[in-house]
Structure formats: structure tokens, C-alpha cells
Amino acid sequence: MRIGILGNGQLARMLALAGRPLGLDFAFYSPNPDGCANVLGEHVCGGFHDIECLGRFVDSVDIVTFENENISQFTLDAIPAERISPPAVSILTAQDRLTEKQYLEKLGIAVPEYCVIGCEQELLDALHDNREPLIVKTRYQGYDGRGQARIHTVEDVQTAWLELGNNDLIAEAMVKFNREVSVIAVRSHGGEVRFYPVTENHHHHGILIASVVRRNDPLQAKAEDYTRRLMEDLDYVGVLGLEFFDYNGELLANEFAPRVHNSGHWSIDGAVCSQFENHLRAICDLPLGDTSALAPCAMCNIIGEYPALPDILKLSGAHYHHYQKQPRPGRKTGHITVCAHDDEAVSKMVSRIMKMFGQG
Amino acid sequence: MRIGILGNGQLARMLALAGRPLGLDFAFYSPNPDGCANVLGEHVCGGFHDIECLGRFVDSVDIVTFENENISQFTLDAIPAERISPPAVSILTAQDRLTEKQYLEKLGIAVPEYCVIGCEQELLDALHDNREPLIVKTRYQGYDGRGQARIHTVEDVQTAWLELGNNDLIAEAMVKFNREVSVIAVRSHGGEVRFYPVTENHHHHGILIASVVRRNDPLQAKAEDYTRRLMEDLDYVGVLGLEFFDYNGELLANEFAPRVHNSGHWSIDGAVCSQFENHLRAICDLPLGDTSALAPCAMCNIIGEYPALPDILKLSGAHYHHYQKQPRPGRKTGHITVCAHDDEAVSKMVSRIMKMFGQG
């Protein structure tokens, strides 16, 4: 079977690394000639609006999947619905923060308070009405903390408007959450859903830096319930990640990703079957794999420059995942998973690695 | 770092799958245009006696390693000693059954009784002298039971001589062993040696079909002692597999492979750090990884036709490793690793898989 992936970055790369041992072949569609997935399959260099080139790509593979939800309706319309998995509706829903929140609310999934911002005055009004700090976000294209601004004062409103005002915006109440958690789930063609244990996620300047697996977390069941509702309503097939704020034991959904998710990278070494293999199993209509964690574990992202390989490899239980990307500040270039006998040992290893990275 | 591998079969493929996450690049040197490793790096198509082409290949990589010990002295002479790892002497020793046995004996490692056979009469004499069945083997190039014949009678001598008589031969006493075991070890540039737990190996028509990990095997220490002697004397760097007959609790060395070994494939899913990653760590002078088994586990080879993917993937704890090779009778085309909570559950899964393959 030949899998066509829209995109050739690290998620496509890790899908191919997981899929080669299943006997799957891979092709990547992207205008980027240097994507780090290219070494693992055929790269078809084409633009996402070059419908003719994309059409040939789609015809050359058995199933199309993707590593990024920023795919336009125009592009999606060029792919027959039965040839893309997860379904296009999940992309269109997730890529717009407003549609996404409305969709989650419709399913009875709690989200932080929010409002649409059409002009600077509306942002001032929102700050005034809420009497709480706000976070203003572009509806489209934001990631890793980009396209966001925090609003505490009237001056912040002006700065944010200058920076983001020419985008469609929403403003959210800045939730004083206890922690951020996410759950990764996989759903089959037949409607079977399996969940990985939730992770607690830690960010630095808006970028995920560490995810720690929380087996037996008290919010696991609630997170699963919400995620199941979402996947069933979307008639979803594949892996999906749903992020939450834990606000005094209540789960408020932040956003979902209709794809393999950074907070699930621990599963390569820490679960019986990784999120990457399970995504491929699901979209190829193969039996789903076991989502259990093998041991207490966590994942630390490498942002920018690579650490010295020996420094990481000398840590027993650490697994290095280099994406073979050119380092740039703020760019995710790899990750490290750590497994240990107990949660405390995992925490210590995470702290040690974060210190190495100057994020301790 | 760019790793050059002589050969582009499944061992080269699995080395590359293990090495990409370490950020390593791969190039494969082989006259075979269709090697299953080619999808994971650059394939340089050249003959092993095309010294000019090979020289350019060697110059284009940081270190040369190999997946097969049948490399001639002529070819090895074209590679500077400091550029190949494991060392050339390990190849030259392992590729000739006579040199190999003499080397093992010199180190005090017991081997089955054997003698050199130069003509049909010597084979008859050997049968007569031993009064036991013999196994006659070509000194060079034998694998998966090829280049071997069993000798019980005078008629067997004639048949064997017709088939193998134009090769250099040795005859061995056919040991009535209790089981076949092997140990996989890795040695660093600095001389550190780590051992995987021994496996018990099962063959069918001379081809390995299953390896079952035996944690806490009573012969582990003896197997380690022998393997350490061998690696130290060869000043070995990388992974090595040493096969033994367990003859009433005594270990008789059968042969060694100066490379990653089929009986260590379980380590991809069953050990903290696989034999493939550890081989790369060793030859790149990186810290060695943990060789501990994560759980009771085993490996079953796929010989010839592939089983239906869903039949394997529905087994919880099974991991599929498809080599993307054209199936041919007697050809190793993949393997399946199984992990479970206890040895009995592993045994049951192995039996179930063997039955699926018609080898139960």
C-alpha cells in the first residue's frame, strides 16, 4: 500500500519510520524541496493550489493523509472524500479557532469564554467587560504561540491590534488553569476508539517543551468522553489530539489537531503501539494497536540547536529523535523520550534534560 | 554523520531505520539495484571488486560497516583499516569455518569436533572414525542451511561429495545438543562490552524460524565469558552474535557473525536499545545503550510469502517487520516480534504464529 502524505516535515517523517516496517510505501506532497521526510519516500514537489499536480499525486497513492491542518478548502476540494483520511471536515473545523470552538460547544464540550473581535474597539470592550486578562488569537494559521498576544492593559490592546489587526481574530478569557493536558486517541473505520493515557504539557514562550505521561490521571475518563464525542461526530478515522486546560478539575478544551500530535511523541518508545503506527493502521483499515504505556515516561522537545548526541545517549532510558532539520531559533528540530521505573525518576530525567537545554 | 553500509538487504535497512532518529545519514554499496534498504538512503550501485567505485564510496562516508561477512580480502584491502568497523579481521575469521573454529579454540572456547575434508576418501574415513553421524559444511559462503549435508551412511558420503565436493570442506561431529542458543553483544571503542540476554533458537530446514529470549538463563554467564574473550581478542567494535549448542549444559560454539544477527531482531521492540541502534552507537563512538529486555519476548521469522497483515496486527503485543522484499521460497522476508507479560504467554503467541505459517 502506498500512503500519500500532504507535507514532508517531522510528522510525515515519523509516520514513514513507523510505516516502513508494516511494508507501507510513502510519497510526500509539498512545495518544500528539503523536507526532512524526503529521505524516507518519494517527494513530489508541488504547490497546494496546483490542482493538476496534486491530482496526479492523489491518483498515485492508495490513501491521502496529512501532517498539518492548514489545508485550504480549495485544495481539499481536489481530493475525493473517500481518498483522504482523517476526513476533510476535521481539517476545516480545526483550522479555524472560531469554527472549532463552536463545534466543541455544540457537542457539550466546555471551552474557555471567547468572543469574535472585528475591530480595535471590540477588543477594548472585551477587556473592559471581562475585567480579566485576555488572550487574542488569529482564527487561522497560528501555531507554537505565533499569532497570539496577551492583553492586560489598554496599551496591550493597541500593540496587539498593530501586530494582529489585519487578521480574523477571537479573544479568549485567559484561564488561570492548574495545568495543560492533552489526550491522543485513534479511531478505526469500524468506529473502535482507543485512548493513550493523558499527558501533562509544559510550554515555554508558547512552544511545547515537555509532555509527561499521567497514567491513572483523575481526568482521563472525562478527556476520553469529550474526545469520543468529537471523533464520533466527525466520523473520524485516524489519530487525533485534543488539548485541554485543567481548571480546578474541570476540563476546558483548548484546541484539537486532526493528526498525530506533538504531545503523543512519547508513544514511539513508551507505548506498545505508537501514535504513528496507530494512525497508519487506522487509515489503512488495519486492526488498531495497543495504546497502553509500557512504563512511566515523558517527552522533551528539542527547540533550535541540537544538543550533543553523547550527552543524551549516555542517559539510560533516553531515546533520541533527531529530525535532520536545519536548526533555527524556535524551530522544533527533534525530541527525546525518557522511560524509567517510576514517575519520580522520569521527572528527574526531564529536569536534567531541560537544564541541558537551558529551560530548567 | 554518514554511515556507509556494504550491502542493501534487511540488515542494512534495519540499521538505517534505527539510525535515522539519531540524525545519521546512510549510503548503501551493492551491485543489487533493488535492495530493500535503498528506500532509506542513497544506493551506490557497484560491484565489490570494482575498487575504484568502492573507493569513491568509502571516501564519501564517515565510517563503513557491513551486513554480511562474505567480503573478500581483495575488497577489504581497498578500505583503510581505520575506516571500517567492525574490524576486517573479524570478517576474515568468520567467513571461513576452519579459521573461525581454530580462532575460537585458540581462545579456549569449546567447539564441536571437526576435521578438514580434502577428498571423498577423507569423508569416508571421518564417518568411519567417528562412528557418529557427521555434518559436512563448505568452509565459505554457507548460510541458512545451504552448503551443508548430513552424513549417516556411506551413500550419504557419495551424495554429499557430488553436491559439495568442489568446495573446501570441513566435517563436524553432529552434536546431539539439547538446544541452540545465541548471545548478542556490543563492544565500544573504549572496550566496554554489553550483552543482551541469550535466546533459544529454533530452525526449520536449516533456517532460523524463532528466537525466544531467555532472561536469567543458567548459561548466560558462560556465553558472556566466551563472547567477551572473542571480542577482546579481535579488538572488536560493534555488535556481534555468537551461536552455541547447549550440550548437557556445556556450550559448544557453532559460529559467530561479526554484525547484527537474526537472533537479535527481538531487541527492536523488546529491549531498551535495539542491536541495530547499539551497533551504530558503537561504530560512531557514542555511548552504548541499555541491552536489557523490557519484557518476556520472542521473534518469529517470515520465510517466503507474507502473512496477511491484519492476522498479525490483531495479536496484541505483536510487532510486524516487513522487509519489502519479493517473496521467494526459503527467503527471509520479514519478522514478527512478540512481547507479553510472562514466558508462557510468549510461547503461546509463538506457537500461534508458527501455526499460521504452517511451521507449527
What are the pLDDT digits (tens) for A221-232?
999 999 999 999
Is the domain of B205 the same as that of B333? yes
What is the C-alpha end-to-end distance of chain B, expressed in Å?
44
Check residue A142 and give its pLDDT.
76
Could you tell me the three cell numbers for A358? 537551558
- Does some domain include residue B277? yes
Shortest distance, CA A227 to any CA of chain B (angstroms): 23
Shortest distance, CA A198 to any CA of chain B (angstroms): 21
C-alpha to C-alpha distance for B345 and B336, rounded to whole angstroms:
15
**B contacts of A272 (beta carbons < 8 Å):** 316-317, 339
**B contacts of A299 (beta carbons < 8 Å):** none
Q: Which residues of B165-202 are buried (b: 16+ CB within 10 A; e: fewer)?
A: eeebbbbbbbbebeebbbbbbbbbeeeebbbbbbbbbb
**A contacts of B21 (beta carbons < 8 Å):** 17, 319-322
C-alpha to C-alpha distance for A336 and A269, rounded to whole angstroms:
10
**B contacts of A321 (beta carbons < 8 Å):** 21
| DSSP classification of residue A69 | S
Cα torsion B16, B17, B20, B22 to 10°: value is: -100
> Cβ contact (<8 Å) for A40 and B41?
no
Report whether the peptide linkage leading into residue B87 is cis, meaning its omega lies within 30 degrees of zero.
no
Shortest distance, CA B291 to any CA of chain A (angstroms): 10
Q: Which residue has the higher pLDDT, A17 or A165?
A: A17
Check residue B132 and give its pLDDT.
81
How high does pLDDT run on average in chain A?
95
> Cβ contact (<8 Å) for B320 and A21?
yes
Which CATH number belongs to the domain containing residue A169 in this structure? 3.30.1490.20
Is the domain of B249 the same as that of B301? yes
Backbone angles phi and psi of A16, in degrees to 5: -70, -40
DSSP secondary structure of A168-199? -EEEEE----SEEEEEEEEE-TT--EEEPPPE
- Does some domain include residue B325? yes
Mutate to test the interface with A, among B297, B309, B335, B338 (most CBs of A within 10 A): B309
Cα torsion A135, A136, A140, A145 to 10°: value is: -50
**A154 and chain B in contact, CB less than 8 A:** no
Q: Which residue in the set B25, B272, B322 is minimally distant from A317, CB to CB?
A: B272
Mutate to test the interface with B, among A309, A326, A336 (most CBs of B within 10 A): A309
**A296 and chain B in contact, CB less than 8 A:** no
Last residue of a domain, one of B135, B158, B173: B173
3-class secondary structure per residue, chain B: CEEEEECCCHHHHHHHHHHHHHCCEEEEEECCCCCCCHHHCEEEECCCCCHHHHHHHHHCCCEEEECCCCCCHHHHHCCCHHHECCCHHHHHHHCCHHHHHHHHHHCCCCCCCEEEECCHHHHHHHHHHHCCCEEEEECCCCCCCCCEEEECCHHHHHHHHHHHCCCCEEEEECCCCCEEEEEEEEECCCCCEEECCCEEEEEECCEEEEEEECCCCCCHHHHHHHHHHHHHHCCCCEEEEEEEEEECCEEEEEEEECCCCHHHCCHHHHECCCHHHHHHHHHCCCCCCCCCECCCEEEEEEECCCCCHHHHHCCCCEEEEECCCCCCCCCEEEEEEEECCCHHHHHHHHHHHHHHCCCC
A140 neighbors A167 (Cβ within 8 angstroms): yes
In DSSP terms, which residues pair with A320 in a beta bridge? Answer: A336
Is the domain of A194 the same as that of A133? no
| A 114-133 residues with CB < 8 A to B | none
Shortest distance, CA B20 to any CA of chain A (angstroms): 7
**B81 and chain A in contact, CB less than 8 A:** no
- Does some domain include residue A261? yes
Is the domain of B127 the same as that of B200? no
Of B186, B258, B272, which Cα lies nearest the Cα of A313?
B272
> Cβ contact (<8 Å) for A313 and B281?
yes
Could you tell me the three cell numbers for B252? 559448544
Distances (CA, A) of A258 to A89, A213, A231, A238, A334: 10, 20, 9, 8, 21
- Does some domain include residue A287? yes
Shortest distance, CA A323 to any CA of chain B (angstroms): 7
Which CATH number belongs to the domain containing residue B44 in this structure? 3.40.50.20
Q: Report pTM.
A: 0.95
Mutate to test the interface with A, among B24, B192, B280, B313 (most CBs of A within 10 A): B313
Is the domain of B58 the same as that of B135? no
DSSP secondary structure of A287-327? PPPP--BSSSEEEEEEESSPPPHHHHHTSTTEEEEE-----
Question: How many structural domains compose chain A?
Answer: 3
Is the domain of B244 the same as that of B186? yes
> Cβ contact (<8 Å) for B25 and A324?
yes
Check residue A146 and give its pLDDT.
83
Reported as a pLDDT band with limits 50, 70 and 90, residue A360 is low
**ipTM score of complex:** 0.94
Shortest distance, CA A314 to any CA of chain B (angstroms): 5
**A190 and chain B in contact, CB less than 8 A:** no
Rg, chain A, Cα only? 20
Of B298, B297, B303, which Cα lies nearest the Cα of B334?
B303
Is the domain of A158 the same as that of A216? no
Which CATH number belongs to the domain containing residue B317 in this structure? 3.30.470.20
**B contacts of A294 (beta carbons < 8 Å):** 294-295
C-alpha to C-alpha distance for B318 and B34, rounded to whole angstroms:
28
**B154 and chain A in contact, CB less than 8 A:** no
Compute how many other C-beta atoms are within 10 angstroms of the C-beta atom of residue B233. 15
Q: Which residue in the set A17, A306, A334 is minimally distant from B17, CB to CB?
A: A17
Angle at the Cα of A182 from the Cα atoms of A306 and A83, rounded to 5 degrees: 85
Is the domain of B169 the same as that of B184? no
Nearest C-alpha in B relative to A295: B294
Helix (H, G, I), strand (E, B) or coil at A284: coil
**B281 and chain A in contact, CB less than 8 A:** yes
> Cβ contact (<8 Å) for B310 and A21?
no
Q: Which residue has the higher pLDDT, A161 or A229?
A: A229
Residue A108 makes CB contacts below 8 A (sequence gap 6+) with A229
Answer whether residue A258 shows pLDDT above 60: yes
Q: Alpha carbon A89 to chain centroid distance?
A: 17
Compute how many other C-beta atoms are within 10 angstroms of the C-beta atom of residue A225. 13
> Cβ contact (<8 Å) for B23 and A294?
no
- Does some domain include residue B97? no
Q: Which domain holds residue A244?
A: 179-356
**A112 and chain B in contact, CB less than 8 A:** no
**B contacts of A23 (beta carbons < 8 Å):** 306, 309, 320, 322, 324, 334
Q: Alpha carbon A347 to chain centroid distance?
A: 23
B239 neighbors B272 (Cβ within 8 angstroms): no
- Does some domain include residue A36? yes
Answer whether residue A341 shows pLDDT above 80: yes
**A contacts of B25 (beta carbons < 8 Å):** 39, 324
Of A58, A25, A59, which Cα lies nearest the Cα of A42?
A25
**A40 and chain B in contact, CB less than 8 A:** yes
Q: Which residues of B46-64 are buried (b: 16+ CB within 10 A; e: fewer)?
A: bebebbebbeebbeebebb
Residue B21 makes CB contacts below 8 A (sequence gap 6+) with A17, A319, A320, A321, A322
**B contacts of A295 (beta carbons < 8 Å):** 294
> Cβ contact (<8 Å) for B313 and A272?
no
Last residue of a domain, one of A67, A84, A101: A84
B149 neighbors B163 (Cβ within 8 angstroms): yes
Q: At what angle do helices B97-106 and B220-233 cross, to 10 degrees?
A: 100
**A contacts of B17 (beta carbons < 8 Å):** 17, 20-21
Q: Which residue in the set B21, B309, B317 is minimally distant from A22, CB to CB?
A: B309
Check residue B85 and give its pLDDT.
98
**A19 and chain B in contact, CB less than 8 A:** no
Is the domain of B17 the same as that of B58? yes
B153 neighbors B174 (Cβ within 8 angstroms): no
Is the domain of B284 the same as that of B329? yes
**B contacts of A324 (beta carbons < 8 Å):** 20, 23, 25
Report whether the peptide linkage leading into residue B86 is cis, meaning its omega lies within 30 degrees of zero.
yes
Helix (H, G, I), strand (E, B) or coil at A16: helix
> Cβ contact (<8 Å) for B272 and A41?
no
Is the domain of B274 the same as that of B249? yes
Is the domain of A185 the same as that of A167? no
Of A29, A31, A37, A35, which Cα lies nearest the Cα of A12?
A37
- Does some domain include residue B318? yes
> Cβ contact (<8 Å) for B290 and A334?
no
* Block mean pLDDT (10 aa), chain B, length 360: 98 98 98 97 97 98 96 96 97 96 97 92 88 89 83 90 89 92 98 98 92 96 98 98 96 97 98 98 98 96 94 94 95 96 95 83
Q: What is the pLDDT of residues A319-329, one digit of tens each?
A: 999 999 999 99
